[in-house]
Chains A and B, each alone.
Chain A
Amino acid sequence: MSAPLTSLDRPNSYIGRSVPRPNAKRLLAGRGRYVSDLRLPRMLHAAFLRSPHAHAKIVSINTEQARVLEGVHLVATGADLAKICTPWTGTLDHFKGMTSAPQLPLPLDRVVWAGQAVVAVVAESRSIAEDALELIEIDYEDLPVVVDIDSAREVGTPLVNPGSASNVCFRSQLDSGGVDDVFATAAHVVEEEFSFGRHTAVTLEPRAIVADYDPGAEMLTVHHGTQTPYQFQDLYSRHYGIPEARVRVIATDIGGSFGMKLHVYHEDMAVVGLSILIGRPVKYVADRIESFVSDIHARDHRVRARIALDAKGEILAMDVHDLTAIGAFSTYPRTSVVEGNQVIRLIGAPYCFRNYRALLEVIFQNKVQTSQYRAVGHPVACAVTERLVDMAAAKVGLDPFAIRAQNVIADDAYPQTSPTGYRFEALSHQECLKRLHAMMDYDALRAEQSDLRKRGVYRGIGIATFVEITNPSPAFYGVGGARISSQDGAIVGLTPSGEVRCLISVTEQGQGTEAIISQIVADQLGLAQEHVKVITGDTEVTPHGGATWACRGAGIGGETALQATRVLKRNILEIAALILQEQPAALDIIDGEVVDAATRQQRLPISEIARIAYFRSDTLPPDTQAQLTVSHHFAPQGYPFAFTNGIQGCSLEVDVDTGFVKLLKHFVVEDCGRIINPMLVDEQLRGGVVQGLGAALFEECRYSDTGQLINGSLADYLVPMAMEMPDIVIAHVETPTADTALGAKGCGEAGTAAASACVLNAVNDALAQFGATINSIPITPAKILKALKRF
């Protein structure tokens, strides 16, 4: 007997099907077109002299020798670029009271972190430009350095921005009321202080930009390895005073971004200015050391939090203080306070309780800026919440699964509003918990753990529930005054040969955007996927939209493609109906053929409709104007965000003599609504988990007392590698959003959101019998051995 038919047995049913990415073969064949590879005629190369000081006054800059070096075309200082570029400030209106100093491409008189670019050289080659850097003399006068998060807040401490009242960038408070009363009377209270180290994105391809200003056409073209070409089109236009229509940003293949490549970087802005000054293409590719000292970092939070429970283990209240240091400026244009803001709003999100209070303090210091990086705020909120829940479970005497089952918002209780104000349409915590328990074979794992302990092997099991923010509406940035779109646009057209081209504003970073868009278009039109070509990432040809950030490609971009394709299909069928003398409703399209909707009998290939419409419009009835290219925009409506949820689990082993942690297996149950391509979702989750595991055990930007990054190389900054990664088992629950026809939500952050929390809980589980606890991420051998008092 054959298996029952599913929706995937329909012809051209690509939504929900694992199909390979159409661009994978090209990239594997080495035919990617990365900005790093680009060579334009007459192109020059930029290099930057960087500050060796974390905070210093620039007394003088002598560039005379560099200017006369053979092969050098331009040496530019902050003053040179300030003449043509207006300053920017990394604040948004909806973060009331936040401050940040204005920024320029290169500083005028003061450096504020070690590694800040100070002087730019443009030369025939990168090597010559670097030779010239060695000839530049800068006289600095040291200023007091603000590094430590505690001393940054003390009264009378040196100021990162002289003239400001303090080193505070932003403060925010949430208070549902009643918190003190609940804590005063609760049966159980547990409290912990957590720290989360700085880490950074470490993309395979570093930041890369080629700016090409054509003084003849007064036109700026920027080839930019970015997630958000439209945002940069707007910024380059406004800060350099070039009309928007004369600024073109092209973002073709990108070797990874993870949120790191959507911020304004001083070097990138400078390169645009350098090209304008010299009237030739200028290229800059950050090398790895430059990436470490100038790419945004993330996290760097210290969170003190407590949770109150009743005698039975029901969560009653949480009280949180998040202190985070963001570097010397708030990043532009998305700011550096979003992470903290999401930390205090996501803490406790999976659970039913009403009393919540949180204080966020965002502090300036003399380090490179932090800002949005994959899973903004989620891992911090998740680790704080889930560790406290585990500590509470131990105190009440409940199993980690039991306390979560008792406290998560019930699957049938939606819609719900969290005490922090987030509105949840529909989540599936209970179902996810149940699935994870079975998938882990939890009881058997516990039995094995107990057996092994008798033999001196210390295994730990950890679980962590999470909520993820996806499909952001204008509530995210637009309301704050940022010209960052939350809508997307698509142009879908039938070619004369009956194929479909889709130009869409969401962009591709290797996560498979182009694959899922082609699946949606093929599915909705009734066409083989290979006949759909998707084009992204060029502001000159693709419509304006949000592009890629915060988990929106499938949920918003996908819905845009779906709606656009439905309009195109209607238009095709209208012409088909005229030709066939039928009602449009009686027709459908299957596999590129117009068919009788009822009988599926083939009537006419869509290529024939295209041929007639494009070449023999004289044979159509008078006044017929075939519209075989459709442009369509979609802005999310309904809930301000489509929240998703899930749960992760892990099993690991701690070597209590060396402090080494061996990851044995990782589990994810995740609900991102409608899944368009299961293979891509699974791999995106795995990639996210690996980044989370990197944060948990390996990755940290470490600084000296004087504000020097001391591990800025891939030998010293440890990224997770295949040998250390466990198998990652994935399952799904599907709760589509009713806000769109497609029903898709995001899945890009889910893996990263809870992986480190799982490991934190598992390591603590392994160490529990020694009375040792870990409350700091990354969890290094040194921290474990210290906790075990082994040295």
Chain B
Amino acid sequence: MKARAFSYFRADTIDQALDAHARAGDDARFIAGGQSLVPALSLRLQAPRLLIDITHIAELRGVCREGDTLRIGALTRHCEMLTEPLIAAFAPLLRAAAPFVAHPAIRNRGTFGGSVALADPASEFPAMTLALDAEIEIAGPSGSRRLKADDFFIDLFETALQPGELITAVHVPLFRSNQRFAFDELARRRGDYALVGCGMLATQTGDRIDDIRISFFSVGNTPTRVKGAETALTGFSLDAARIAAAQAALDNDLAPPESDEVPPMMRLHLARVLLGRLLGRLGEGA
């Protein structure tokens, strides 16, 4: 299939992009890496009148420290997550997730901001913003705002972004020496959307977990924090009994939807297996 005809505008600043969107009567889409939008256009699942190319907006680029957080520009490409030293040092969970994001050709073009904005429930990065307690920086017609990742993902492909709003950056608290992280996913082929995936970030005093954030993807309509499992672990050292308690808590935390290939109970089982394995690694100082 071929896309329906559309107009194209290349914005050089955020203001230009927002302005173009408004003038198109919101019958417009921002395009950066295009790794999800272009297939949707070709399949005629989307047919906006205008595409606004934001890839040349300098303000959306770059990774830098800002106080206690790392500011990751929205245009940061997935492949840069693998190579950027600041990511490896201060957001190592993102570095760990990056190799699992699709394939090299897609990682070369796809952007971090685009992935978060799309909010595909099977994607790695949106879920990791939850585990990292990240803040999403948004520019829009009525100015800029920052929103906790916890408040960002609303439903299937639905986020707190309003029409005409644009993610400009994601802010991630700097990784600290008393923190541990783990990431893995169960995908039938390398690079596929996972049947179940999970990332976690724990803050510890010695072996004791003071705080842990665990986020799953491919388990429902949105990336999903499993607060029951987190509670089961907080204040304890990891041992077989604690891990089992966290696994058991998933029964309440997750409600996987019907799907033709992976029945809900199977997905829940896989989530428990994956959680057990990741907590095992965390206990080994992953």
Contacts and interface: CB of A to CB of B under 8 A. Distances in A.
B276 to A, nearest CB: 8
B195 A781 contact: yes
B2 A127 contact: yes
B192 A125 contact: no
B270 A704 contact: no
Interface stretch (B21-29, B137-145, B182-190, B203-211): B182-190
Contact of A791 (B190, B192, B268): B268
B163 interface: no
Contacts of A287: 1
Contacts of A165: none
A724 B1 contact: no
B4 interface: yes
Interface string A646-682: 0000000000011010000000000000000000000
Interface stretch (A102-110, A482-490, A715-723, A740-748): A715-723
Interface string A758-791: 0000000000000000000000111001000011
Interface stretch (B11-19, B165-173, B259-267): B259-267
A358 to B, nearest CB: 32
B2 A715 contact: no
B38 interface: no
A131 B273 contact: no
B4 A704 contact: no
A698 B273 contact: no
A723 B260 CA distance: 25
B175 interface: no
Contact of A289 (B1, B5, B186): B1
B85 interface: no
Contact of B189 (A657, A718, A780): A718
Contacts of B192: 715, 718
Given A126-B2, A130-B1, A658-B186, A782 B44 contact: no
Interface string A720-733: 11011000000000
A718 B189 CA distance: 8
Interface in B175-200: 186, 188-193, 195
Given A657-B273, A791-B269, A723 B190 contact: yes
Contacts of A423: none
Nearest to A710: B260
B3 interface: yes
A153 interface: no
A302 interface: no
B265 A131 contact: no
A721 B189 contact: yes
Contacts of A711: 260-261
Contacts of B263: 782, 791
Given A130-B44, A710-B260, A658 B190 contact: no
Contacts of B273: 657-658
B261 A702 contact: yes
B189 A724 contact: yes
Nearest to A661: B188
A126 B195 CA distance: 36
B75 to A, nearest CB: 25
A125 B2 contact: yes
Interface in A75-132: 125-127, 130-131
B193 A715 contact: yes
A791 B193 contact: no
A721 B188 contact: no
Nearest to A786: B266
Contacts of B188: 660, 698, 718, 781
B63 to A, nearest CB: 29
Interface in B209-268: 260-263, 265-266, 268
Nearest to B261: A782
B136 to A, nearest CB: 26
Interface residues of A, number: 28
A571 B27 CA distance: 75
A134 B3 CA distance: 13
Contacts of B4: 127, 130-131
Interface string B97-120: 000000000000000000000000
Contacts of B1: 130, 287, 289
A721 B190 contact: yes
A723 B104 CA distance: 13
B1 to A, nearest CB: 5
Nearest to B43: A289
Contacts of A660: 186, 188
Contact of A780 (B5, B261, B265, B270): B261
B266 A785 contact: yes
A130 B186 contact: no
A289 B42 CA distance: 11
Interface hub of B1, B4, B191 (most chain A Cβ within 10 A): B1
Interface in B4-58: 4-5, 43-44
Contacts of B43: 289
B161 to A, nearest CB: 24
Contacts of A698: 188-189
A771 B202 CA distance: 40
Nearest to B270: A658
Contacts of B195: 781
Nearest to A45: B2
A698 B193 CA distance: 14
A95 B190 CA distance: 45
B270 A724 contact: no
A287 B44 CA distance: 13
Contacts of A657: 273
Nearest to B192: A718
A791 B265 contact: yes
A710 B190 CA distance: 22
A720 B190 CA distance: 10
Nearest to B193: A715
A688 B188 CA distance: 21
Contacts of A791: 263, 265-266, 268-269
B228 to A, nearest CB: 20
Nearest to B196: A658
Interface string B266-280: 101110010000000
A502 B149 CA distance: 68
Contacts of B2: 125-127, 130
Interface string B146-163: 000000000000000000
B190 A724 contact: yes
A782 B266 contact: yes
B25 to A, nearest CB: 21
Nearest to A716: B261
Nearest to B272: A657
Given A657-B273, A698-B189, A782-B261, A127 B266 contact: no
Contacts of A704: 260
Contacts of B266: 781-782, 785, 790-791
Nearest to A697: B188
A134 B1 CA distance: 12
Given A130-B1, A130-B2, A289-B1, A782 B190 contact: no
B281 to A, nearest CB: 15
Contacts of B262: 782
Nearest to A782: B266
Given A704-B260, A781-B195, A790 B189 contact: no
Nearest to B186: A658
Nearest to A724: B189
Contacts of A710: 260
A660 B187 CA distance: 9
Nearest to A127: B2
11 contacts: A130-B2, A289-B43, A658-B270, A723-B190, A723-B191, A780-B261, A781-B188, A781-B195, A782-B261, A791-B265, A791-B266
Given A781-B188, A781-B266, 5 more contacts: A127-B3, A287-B1, A718-B192, A720-B189, A723-B189
Interface of B: 1-5, 43-44, 186, 188-193, 195, 260-263, 265-266, 268-270, 273
Q: 4 tightest CB-CB pairs across the interface, nearest first?
A: A127-B2, A723-B190, A791-B269, A791-B265
